[in-house]
Amino acid sequence: MSTLKRFFIAYDLITPGQKYAAVEDAIAKSCTWYMKLQYSLYFVISRHTAAEMYSRVRAVQDGNDKLAVIEAANAVISTAGNSEKEVFLNLWGTPDSEAA
């Protein structure tokens, strides 16, 4: 069984096209859990690799769109709202810089 991995997925959908629903659906179907942090930024947990996640999302984008899939190892969050921050800290534990 594959290990769960954490990713940030960010994209720009360039006119024409802008298939927001298709991109969100591809993200949702490719992971076990996800959270939309900003309009085009997601935090996801998946058993797929970064390359697999990229391929799944890129398949529904137009050729002129942009996409970044970044595997996350650690996080320190100071600007997120309390509920998002609690989710991140529960997933990754309290970083030393947050405990100080």
The CATH number given to whatever domain includes residue 70 is 3.30.70.240
Predicted pLDDT of residue 46: 92
Considering the domain boundaries, does residue 13 fall inside one?
A: yes
**Which residues does 70 contact at the CB level (< 8 Å), separation at least 6?**
7, 8, 9, 10, 50
Considering the domain boundaries, does residue 26 fall inside one?
A: yes
More confident call, 1 vs 85: 85
pLDDT at position 87 over 60 = yes
The least confident of 10-14, 36-40, 77-81 is 77-81
Considering the domain boundaries, does residue 36 fall inside one?
A: yes
Considering the domain boundaries, does residue 66 fall inside one?
A: yes
Domains contained in the chain, number: 1
52 confidence band (pLDDT: 50, 70, 90): very high
What whole-number percentage of the chain has pLDDT above 70? 73
Considering the domain boundaries, does residue 85 fall inside one?
A: no
pTM assigned to the model: 0.77
